Amino acid sequence: MMLCSFGPKPQILRLYGKGRSVYRQDAEWAGLASRFEIVTGARQIVLLEIESIQTSCGYAVPRYEFVEHRETLKKSSAHMGEAELANYRQTHNLESIDGQPTGLREQVRQEG
């Protein structure tokens, strides 16, 4: 995972490790979700077991300024509701953009 500072102080942080997804249907979800502000449309929490960390200067990272949070996901999720969101995920989120399984397939089957 790579994190970049887009503010005045340039910095890049790289976290190396193995990640796994925790889905809404998993037993771990409730405990983990209580640590975050989870919006209705959230599909998963990614856990990373960090093996090593590296920093670098980030001198080539451009500067950007934060404008505002987007409300689109919150609004569309509230409009759809949980049942329609589950159907949407089954139709649109079973594979990544490069055709790899996302892990949601098994979760969706367990819901039904």
Query: Could you tell me the residue range of the domain that residue 77 belongs to?
Result: 2-62+70-111
**β-bridge mates for residue 13, sequence order:** 3, 55
Contact 68/62 with Cβ under 8 angstroms?
Answer: no
d(CA 60, CA 77): 37
Q: Per-residue pLDDT for the chain (112 aa), expressed as one digit of tens each?
A: 999 999 899 999 999 999 999 988 899 999 999 999 887 788 899 999 999 999 999 999 999 999 999 999 888 888 888 888 888 888 888 888 898 988 876 555 555 4
Give this prediction's pTM: 0.69
Number of domains in the chain: 1
